[in-house]
Amino acid sequence: MPAQHPREIGFGHVIERYVTPKDTGRARYFDLNSGRILRPGWPHAEVFARRMAEDAAVVTDAELSALLGYEWRSRVTGANLIGVGRRTSFREQLRELLLASDFCFAGSAYCFALARFGTAADAEILTAYLDRYLPRTDLRYDQPAALGALVHLDTLLGTDHATRFTEPDGGLWKQWVDALVHLRDHPAYTPEEQGRYMGLRCAFYDGATAP
């Protein structure tokens, strides 16, 4: 089914309401996609986390579905709101979107949401994604975010799902990174660093969402 603008299904307000508000001087989707929310000393961190948490608490399932059914900016925003609010009812839809990987940038947000859900079911989805896309050394999709989310869940759950992907001599992760010459030996692309980064993304909202 082709992507529909939310206004076509009666949700024309969701882009302005959730995707493009400029709480920090830039549109929200830009902050979510850039990673600057985690930069030490970012002056907007507290207000950004709080307003994301507020919106995650009030956005309706229908509004989230409208966001997930459109283009990458709305999908990034919708998936982040799902993750912040831990809307686990969207798990299956996120699985389908992640495995399809038909929009740039959005996959990292799906991985974040699954990491925030924090269950074995989410680890299974991430494992399925890595089984499908790590052998594709010609594709630079959302493999780092998926591995980071899986490493984070292993730490959280006391499991070892990521181990078979990260074996130093024969793991699919090393093969994928080595095939992208500019990433080879890059310190940010170790499994440990990817897991740490995803953990920071998840923890960013903890204070804002605490009761």
Task: Give the pLDDT of residue 61.
Answer: 96
- With b for 16 or more beta-carbon neighbours within 10 A and e for fewer, the 187-209 pattern comes to eebbbeebbebbbebbebbeebb
Instruction: Parse the chain into domains and list their residue ranges.
Output: 6-209
pLDDT of residue 10: 56
Which of 101, 79, 100 has the alpha carbon at shortest distance from 90? 79
The residue whose two tokens read 């919708």 is 78
CATH topology (fold) of 6-209: Leucine-rich Repeat Variant (1.25.10)
Check residue 143 and give its pLDDT. Answer: 95
Can you give the pLDDT at residue 4? 64
pLDDT at position 80, please? 98
Asked if 53 and 43 count as a contact pair (C-beta separation under 8 A), the reply is no
Per-residue pLDDT, 186: 73
pTM: 0.92
Find out whether 98 and 53 touch, Cβ atoms under 8 Å: no
How many other C-beta atoms are found inside a 10 Å radius of the C-beta of residue 106? 25
- 10-residue mean pLDDT profile of the chain (211 residues): values are 59 89 92 92 94 96 94 96 98 97 90 98 98 93 96 98 90 90 74 96 86 55
